[in-house]
Amino acid sequence: MIKNLQLSFFLLFLSFGLYAQFGTIGYDFKDPYVDFCGLKFAVRLSTKNNIYCPNPKQLTIEKVSDNEIILSSNSLSAAGGQLISEGIIELKLSKGINHRISISAQASHPSELAKSILVLVKGVDVRSMISEQPQANGVKEFKNKKGIRVSYPSRAATMPLVFLTTHDKEWFVLSKDREIRRKGFACLYDHLSNEPVVLLSHDADMRKISSKIKAPEWILGKDRPRVEVVKERCLDLEQYFDLIPYIDKQKVHTKWIDNLKVVSFLHGVHWTGHVFNTYDQMGEQLEWITEMLNGKQILAFLPAWDGRYYVNFPEHEPDNRMGGSEGLKRLVEKAHRLGVKVVLMFGGPNLSTFEFLKKNKMMEAGLKTPSGQAELQDWLDWNTDLQIETMGLIMNFGHPKYLNYMISKTAELFDTYAIDGVFLDGTLRWQNSPDYSAYDGLVKYTKEIRKRYPEKLLMGEDGYDAIYGLFDLFHTSGGPLGIENYLLRYTRQFYYLAYPAENGSAGVHEIGWSNDSETINNADPKYTIPSISLFYGDKEKYDTLIKAKLKAYKNWELMPTSLMKN
């Protein structure tokens, strides 16, 4: 029967073939594949209840032209054909210039919510998948029949783009989505046909989930320079997300960024209460390093300036043990006399404590998973007692009450202490949340602060493509982020907070001791503003070493990249 069905398709629609699919599901799912441009394509609908492919018994494959075909079905198959359901599914393939294949897919189910739509591709002999720089786990080898996968937006995929290498070619897959919605990329091994299968998924926005889903256009191509493909995504960002390249920004008030030679981390109070620097001691160290470097070339970055690191986030008030409100004011005034800019660290999206959230009736402001569960901040053993500290919740900047609080707190600190900028910890935090968009919240926050304080600096941690242009500086874990260093098209960056002091300590950072950390090993000074961590007493202990570093940093220059230009 199956052979007769396949034969009828060959007769009616030339030589489009159908092939069985096996992935991580433990049976033959019986996806109908269609041949196009030397590859094989299939489509699936994932709902909140199950996953479906076209019903082969009601499948049609329409050859629109020599360059376009449409696979569709008016019913759905699940469980390898054992379950048949009403529904509609369609896969459209079009051939363009330069070996580009345009892929569109849509589907609906009469009674189930459509969670995602997947495209399956065979015929690419995948050896590895590249979605980011290696230090962000963005290079994954496909070997030993073990699957690889990555999702956007994340640290390992800061664009909805991957490159797939074979023994002699390089393919790419790029989503042309004009919104921030989750994309999945994977390569699994089909044990039935003994070959790799590439999976591409587009997830519905959980705030708008319905019984219908339509994936934005995917572009599948090969043998193009990576920089050209990355540039294509950059142009999409600039057209649809209003990103402005760094060289085109009106930098009247923040032009000083281009003069920076070093970012000095002046650590405050460790989670356990150990004070690395008081405000006055920070001021002493700034006086000392400005003897070797012009103050206008220094940015003072203050982690844990507000007391025990993470313990009071996001209260963000000067710490009494460090010198209180007057001590912070003295520090900022001294820094400005020296020409140094001062930036304070915020908890940002990365954490709000349970105490703060309960007191301010914001427990619903946590960043939620697609299923509606709030994400806990619970991955660190801060005091090495062999138990993880559950600090609070990861936060959703899109939540109106929390967003308004963070805008007000930022304004308060600017007005009270004349600081030069704020840093949002964890701007990378994103989930396909069912209530509010974390991305939209960052857009609203940055727009409002820039409107009120155009001369102030906004900084973020890690991130992804659509938010890089929202910030003036990024604090990145282990060297430049972005395939082809595209981050530098929109912003500038410096080493991670974990970059150690001279004794090897990461100070308030959770790494603890980091002389041999990934941050050190992956740092690329050509593209990253140098950093130095200073604890009180270091100038006496490590005078020669620190002076040697500062002397070298004095001559630092950013190496230009092709994507930095228009």
Closest CA to 81 of 18, 39, 17: 18
Check: pTM over 0.85? Answer yes or no: yes
Reading across the β-sheet that carries 341-346, which strands appear in turn? 492-494, 473-475, 457-461, 421-424, 341-346, 298-302, 262-266, 531-534
DSSP label at residue 236: H
pLDDT at 14: 37
User: Which helix (DSSP H) or strand (DSSP E) does residue 327 occupy?
Assistant: helix 324-338
What residue spans of 117-252 are helical by DSSP H?
226-240
Q: Higher-confidence residue: 437 or 14?
A: 437
Question: Would you say 36 and 57 are in contact if contact means Cβ atoms under 8 Å apart?
Answer: no
Q: Which CATH architecture is the domain 16-224 placed in?
A: Distorted Sandwich (2.70)
Tens of pLDDT, residue by residue over 154-182, are: 999 999 999 999 999 999 999 999 999 99
Residue 14 region, left (φ>0) first, then alpha (ψ -120 to 50), else beta?
left
> Cα 43 from chain centroid?
27
Tell me the domain boundaries of the chain.
16-224, 257-564
Give the other-Cβ count within 10 Å of 133's Cβ: 24
User: Which helix (DSSP H) or strand (DSSP E) does residue 457 occupy?
Assistant: strand 457-461
390 three-class SS:
coil
pLDDT at 252: 67
Q: Do domains 16-224 and 257-564 have the same CATH topology?
A: no
Query: Which fold does the domain 257-564 belong to in CATH?
Result: TIM Barrel (3.20.20)
Q: Is the pLDDT of residue 6 over 70?
A: no
Q: Is the pLDDT of residue 5 over 50?
A: no
Tens of pLDDT, residue by residue over 449-503, are: 999 999 999 999 989 999 999 999 998 876 667 899 999 999 999 988 888 999 9
pLDDT at 2: 41
Tens of pLDDT, residue by residue over 290-328, are: 999 999 999 999 999 999 999 999 999 999 999 999 999
Q: Is the pLDDT of residue 93 over 80?
A: yes
Closest CA to 563 of 294, 235, 319, 312: 235
Tens of pLDDT, residue by residue over 261-293, are: 999 999 999 999 999 999 999 999 999 999 999
Question: Would you say 536 and 331 are in contact if contact means Cβ atoms under 8 Å apart?
Answer: no
pLDDT at 11: 33
529 three-class SS:
strand
> Cα 517 from chain centroid?
21
CA dihedral 335, 336, 341, 345 (to 10 degrees): 60
Q: Higher-confidence residue: 222 or 11?
A: 222
The Cβ-side half-sphere exposure at 534, using a 13 Å CA radius, reads 33
Find tokens 């043998």 and name the residue: 223
Find tokens 């999702």 and name the residue: 151
Compute the distance between CA of residue 375 and CA of residue 134 in angstroms, rounded to an integer: 27
Find tokens 């849509």 and name the residue: 106
In this structure, of 91-105, 196-210, 272-286, 518-532, the range with the lowest mean pLDDT score is: 518-532
